[in-house]
Chains A and B, each alone.
Chain A
Amino acid sequence: MSHSVSFTTKGSSAAAALALAAAVMLIPANLLPVLTTSTSGDTRDDTIFSGAVQLWRHGLGAIAIIVFAASIVIPFLKLAGLAWLIFGVRNGPPRNARRLTRIYAALDFIGRWSMLDVFLAAFLTGLVQFGQLSSVQARSGIVAFAAAVVLTILATQAFDPRALWSGRTDASPTSPPA
């Protein structure tokens, strides 16, 4: 015996607002420098993208891919996925609810990994402080990026995936007998 509970789509409005705010914050997050590195008087500002490119150029391809995926691909992927889900429930329960539910679960899982760059900036800023020899400072881009990450996580939490199924009465053929 199984039955379903109906849910409203009010959460999708809040999710849309938060996702929109996150999209706005991603603009300065990707344009402003996130770190300034000084080595023996030579100073260099890095954005998220240039930081990943710099890692690649130094032969750290695997690390560059991890940083690029966590800091650039995942935030945009989350926003695109959220937009798909939000538009999906606008006109009632979508026909591909099962697939959209899996997308939601994936978005919920991957979102936390975007915090990688924030932790990285904090760690480097705390550790690399050798005065004129070498130092790292976090810049304003990391504030915008952290805000974007928090907003995307909040947007995912605000979206209620049960809205994808609201009003549907379908049941899987694998349902156990009552």
Chain B
Amino acid sequence: MAHDAQLTCPLCGEVHRPVSLRPGERASCTRCGTVLAKGRRLGPEAPLVFCVTGLILAVPACLLPFITAGKLGDVRVSTLFTGVGALFDHGMRAVAMLVMLCGAFLPIALLGALALLKAPERIRAQVASAGILSRTAEAFEHWAIPEVQVLAVLVALTKLGSVIEVTIGAGFWCYCAMALSLLLAQRSFDYESLASRPGGANAAPRP
């Protein structure tokens, strides 16, 4: 997500001269073969659209019921933060914080950072510089893992299915959609930001 005129491979350090890419084309590092940029299939506003969609979905994902579980008439409704609270109550505060950061706070913060990076300059300038936002987003990318939380919930539901009655709530579907929006925002952001740089990607274009 750097904004220098040249494109440096993050894995081997090779510096490339940008080339323009057609939709569907990929530019690979000439030395290590890492895909550095992809030709844009969607419009330039796609990353911002995905980010805003994800941020809107984050509200019901945080507030609405995730899963409703019942056993012999006893019903329990869980939200995104129920597990965090239970771990906190059991004295596992560090693990609770980790779950909250990786599953809720950082995905939303990453959506916000990416949205600001694509927002009009007059709005972005009031918050932070592009460099700070870009570095923040890169740091968050390793820890924002809502897709893993989605898989964990699906595994748990499969495991619990024969023991208790479970009903999937609207909050979980919104969370899944938010995770998908983040994934699409990251993918479209990467190729859009790299491929649109003056000079383009530094490598051999591949269809």
Q: Residues of A at under 8 Å CB distance from B?
A: 1-7, 39, 55, 58, 60, 63, 66-67, 97-98, 101-102, 104-105, 112-113, 115-131, 133-134, 137-138, 142-143, 146, 150, 153, 157, 161-162, 164-166, 170-172, 174-176, 178
Contacts and interface: CB of A to CB of B under 8 A. Distances in A.
B190 to A, nearest CB: 14
B86 A4 contact: no
A161 B95 contact: no
A123 B159 CA distance: 12
A105 B90 contact: no
A8 B92 CA distance: 38
Given A165-B13, A174-B28, 5 more contacts: A2-B16, A2-B203, A112-B145, A153-B143, A165-B31
A112 B148 contact: yes
A92 B16 CA distance: 24
B129 interface: no
A118 B31 contact: no
A162 B12 CA distance: 4
A127 B8 contact: no
Contacts of B32: 97-98, 101-102, 165
Given A5-B15, A138-B87, A146-B95, A176 B78 contact: no
Given A129-B76, A150-B98, A97 B12 contact: yes
Interface string B1-39: 000000010111111110100000000101111100000
B13 A4 contact: yes
19 contacts: A2-B203, A63-B155, A66-B151, A101-B11, A116-B151, A119-B83, A119-B102, A119-B151, A119-B153, A120-B155, A125-B87, A126-B83, A146-B98, A157-B142, A165-B32, A176-B17, A176-B30, A176-B203, A176-B204
Interface of B: 8, 10-17, 19, 28, 30-34, 67, 69, 71-72, 74, 76, 78, 82-87, 90, 92, 94-96, 98-99, 102-103, 142-143, 145, 148-149, 151-153, 155-156, 158-160, 162-164, 202-204
Contacts of B71: 130, 133-134
Contacts of B145: 112, 115
B72 A133 contact: yes
A115 to B, nearest CB: 5
A39 B98 contact: no
Contact of A3 (B15, B33, B76, B86): B15
